[in-house]
């Protein structure tokens, strides 16, 4: 089971800085506890200094992430606010038949509604979703309808 962690990195920030990435470990931990067979891929962990990349490396890194998103079985997206890159990853994963679970307060957002199988408001709700067996149920159902 391939799991892709997607989420806001730079978002709409205009300076060369990134949003907090402290959500990644709680999501990994929930998956370890409730979906131990998952092989979790985190593009940010692979490229923690990507904010410093120049254009050729930006394009290669972006392409690599998009390819991995399109090949996953489950994409977990963390979006406290909008992210163009995460939106593309969600679209590609969904179109390829992966389940997409989004953690975001933006439940009215059209992209999230169109390409998420489940939208949860926060990390606590994600943990409860996993613990209740709903994630496994989603994965068994085939998702992305």
pLDDT digits (tens, 9 = 90+) for 113-128: 999 999 999 999 999 9
Q: CATH number of the domain at 84, please.
A: 3.40.50.450
11: tokens are 């978002």
Average pLDDT, integer, range 31-35: 98
Number of domains, the chain: 1
Question: Coil, strand, or helix at residue 93?
Answer: helix
Look at residue 73 and tell me if it is in a domain.
yes
Look at residue 52 and tell me if it is in a domain.
yes
Interatomic CA distance for residues 16 and 94, integer angstroms: 30
In this structure, the chain runs to a length of 145
Predicted structure pTM score: 0.95
pLDDT digits (tens, 9 = 90+) for 83-124: 999 999 999 999 999 999 999 999 999 999 999 999 999 999
The tokens 């892709």 sit on which residue?
4
Residue 26, domain extent: 2-140
118: tokens are 């489940």
Look at residue 120 and tell me if it is in a domain.
yes
Look at residue 129 and tell me if it is in a domain.
yes
Look at residue 83 and tell me if it is in a domain.
yes
Look at residue 145 and tell me if it is in a domain.
no
What lies within 8 Å, CB to CB, of 35 at 6+ separation is 1, 3, 130, 135, 136, 139
């Amino acid at each position: 089971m391939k799991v892709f962690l997607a989420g806001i990195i730079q978002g709409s920030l205009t300076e060369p800085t990134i949003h907090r990435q402290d959500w990644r470990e709680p999501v990994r931990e929930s998956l370890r506890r409730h979906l131990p067979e998952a092989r979790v891929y985190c593009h940010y962990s692979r490229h923690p200094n990507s904010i410093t990349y120049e254009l050729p490396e930006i394009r290669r890194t972006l392409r690599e992430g998009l390819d991995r998103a399109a090949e996953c079985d489950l994409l977990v997206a963390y979006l406290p606010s909008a992210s163009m890159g995460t939106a593309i990853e969600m679209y590609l994963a969904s179109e390829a038949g992966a389940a997409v679970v989004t953690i975001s307060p933006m439940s009215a957002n059209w992209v999230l509604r169109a390409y998420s199988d489940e939208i949860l408001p926060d990390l606590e709700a994600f943990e409860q979703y996993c613990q209740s067996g709903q994630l496994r149920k989603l994965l068994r159902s085939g998702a992305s309808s």
